[in-house]
Structure 1
Amino acid sequence: MSSSNARDSELGAFLKARRTELSPAEVGLPDSAGRRRVKGLRREEVALLASISPDYYTRLEQGRRQASTPVLDTLARVLRLDDGERAYMFELSGRDAARPRRRTTQKVQPQLQRLLDDLSTTPAVVLGRRTDILAWNVMAAALFTDFARIPEKKRNFVRLVFREPAVRALYPDWEWVAQTTLAQLRMEAALDPKDPRLAELVGELSLQDPDFRRWWGAHRVATPGSGTKTLNHPVVGPLTLDWSFLTSTDDPDQQLITLTAEPGTPSHDRLRILASWAAQAADHPVADR
């Protein structure tokens, strides 16, 4: 399957997933009496709302037709897509062409590594394509896990969230965190649907984890931004941290993620305690700490 065909197929699956989540009442249509044979909206109902023919819309879902920009705009409104979902749909359609994707092995930029090393009390990591973990600082290892012990090819944040017990246990709201990271990975997939390493990652996690398999099939998407994470750290206890994504201008495929706490809060104090603990652990390493 060509990259273009893969995008068309993914677009069709995305449209289907979104319409199944809308009821006729939500979009102002009368709900016909009796049991509906399909969940959510029918193809014919989406076509009616979008003022296109049912055959045209059916071909879109089947990956046999490309949509124009006006039709995509209308479908985004009809299907109640948020900004991230709309951008994802346009990415798949090729109407908002993505930058060329490079599949060479990524290495963290030296200036980002220096910045990581200088952040002595702030956990920070650099993520690459597919949420691969390219680099981290001492505080990030103290907060999440010892990334160095994980084989480089397995060093991926989505994989850690789903498959690493120590990372999974950090999050009291693990389901929300897992679904958000997966939705960001789904957005990444739109940029290069033929990426073999991404296909390998998705295939591996789909086989190993039923939650991943179910949520991946829901076609949820999200774009990186900023927010707040709640963690329960085994050494310093509960932490409420603000996280931010900073994209490298030299390589947009590398993003610096930092986690900070508001000064004067218990979480701010606990980060300082964690920094002290990490420094002591580095000075006096023990096996399997």
Structure 2
Amino acid sequence: MSVNTAKSLGDFLRSRRTRLDPASFGFTGRRRTPGLRREEVAQRASISPTWYTWLEQGRGGAPSAEVLDRISVALMLTHTEREHLFMLGLGRPPEVRYSRVDSVSPRLQRLLDSFDASPAIIKTATWDVVAWNHAAAVVLTDYQTLPPGERNILHFLFRNPAVREKQHDWLSVARYVVGAFRADAARAGLASEVGELVAELRSVSAEFDTLWQENEVLGYNEGHSVKHIKHPVLGTVELEYSAFSVDGRPDLGLIVYTPLDSNVAQQIRRLAAQHRRDSVPDSATA
């Protein structure tokens, strides 16, 4: 760690320490300066008070990821602050922490809804769909009609005949999905979390089992950029595929399908508007 980086780390730790209220942690006594004392942070982080003092003074050396994690908890850092702490201490962001997600923030949902002619979804690292817009409901799948535990993209593709029938080239799509899913799960450190899902799919789908054993790993830029869907109302639809990470939520991904034909886009917009009206409870329109 360079001298400048060590100083930046020390300054950051000191600024986070002095903003905390000692009383909220059960620490009492008169103080000359605001915030927790260095030894109190060290106590909360289960590390040596001397070494923590050295860190704030810019001479403690490079801390381990485990120590930085304990300090981030002791200082009650936010996700962004924890990431900044790792960048200062180790020159890299921390490993992704996976937590189960069942919904998204209203702000993120409003973003999805702004795509009135483009189906858009939010998926987790385990490829569970946790949010979608009305265009996705009328073009892809009406996820609201499914129990939360069944809103998984791999489940759709390998166990739902209706979804399979929509695919113009099912095998090509399936191979890409399995390869991208494997890469996502490994990147998020979810080998154990996806084990049950993979075992289930391998037991019920010989095709999934074959593709899984191929050990393909694919990125989003290595699949087909245009998705072809056979829709019962719109006919064959060409959708340009784009994937984005969600700022501040590395465990979530935004996928947007943009129609290439303006006439199709207008038809999707009308179907989505109708779906929106049909989804409003009667009490809300009374």
Q: TM-score, normalised by structure 1?
A: 0.59
How many angstroms does 1:105 deviate by?
Answer: 3.4
Q: CA RMSD in A?
A: 2.2
Instruction: Give the stretch that moved more between structures: 166-175 or 225-234.
Output: 225-234
Deviating runs (4+, > 6 A) in structure 1? none
Aligned to 2:134: 138
Q: TM-score, normalised by structure 2?
A: 0.60
1:130 touches 1:185 (CA, 8 Å); kept in 2? yes
Aligned to 1:221: 217
The question of 1:277 aligning with 2:271 is answered yes
Q: Distance in 2 between matches of 1:100 and 1:121?
A: 33
Q: Distance in 1 between matches of 2:152 and 2:242?
A: 18
Distance 1:272 1:147, change over 3 A: same
Give CA deviations for 1:163-217 in whole Å, capped at 9, x if unaligned. Answer: 1222111111010001100101111232356544411110111111110001101
Q: Quick one: which amino acid aligns to residue 265 of structure 2?
A: L
Aligned to 2:234: 236
Distance 1:239 1:104, change over 3 A: closer
The question of 1:200 aligning with 2:196 is answered yes
How many angstroms does 1:282 deviate by?
Answer: 4.5
Aligned to 1:84: none
1:228 touches 1:240 (CA, 8 Å); kept in 2? yes
Q: Distance in 1 between matches of 2:146 and 2:273?
A: 21
Gaps of 5+ in 1: 1-95
Give CA deviations for 1:218-260 in whole Å, capped at 9, x if unaligned. Answer: 1011012371111111111111111101111211111111111
Aligned to 2:58: none
2:96 touches 2:251 (CA, 8 Å); kept in 1? no
Q: Distance in 2 between matches of 1:194 and 1:241?
A: 30
Aligned counterpart for 2:258 among listed residues 260, 267, 284: 260
Distance 1:207 1:279, change over 3 A: same
Q: Distance in 2 between matches of 1:200 and 1:174?
A: 24
Distance 1:268 1:165, change over 3 A: farther
2:128 touches 2:151 (CA, 8 Å); kept in 1? yes
Aligned to 1:154: 150
Q: Distance in 2 between matches of 1:151 and 1:201?
A: 16
| 1:126 alignment partner, SS class | strand
Aligned to 1:246: 244
Decide which structure has the larger Cα Rg and report it: 2
| 1:131 alignment partner, SS class | coil
| 1:221 alignment partner, SS class | coil
1:145 touches 1:166 (CA, 8 Å); kept in 2? no
Q: Distance in 2 between matches of 1:205 and 1:167?
A: 16
Distance 1:281 1:200, change over 3 A: same
Aligned to 1:6: none
Aligned to 1:170: 166
Q: Distance in 1 between matches of 2:271 and 2:185?
A: 38
Give CA deviations for 1:140-160 in whole Å, capped at 9, x if unaligned. Answer: 010111101211122111211
Gaps of 5+ in 2: 1-91, 280-286
Q: Distance in 1 between matches of 2:132 and 2:111?
A: 10
How many angstroms does 1:97 deviate by?
Answer: 9.3
2:182 touches 2:217 (CA, 8 Å); kept in 1? yes
| 1:253 alignment partner, SS class | strand
Q: Distance in 1 between matches of 2:133 and 2:123?
A: 12
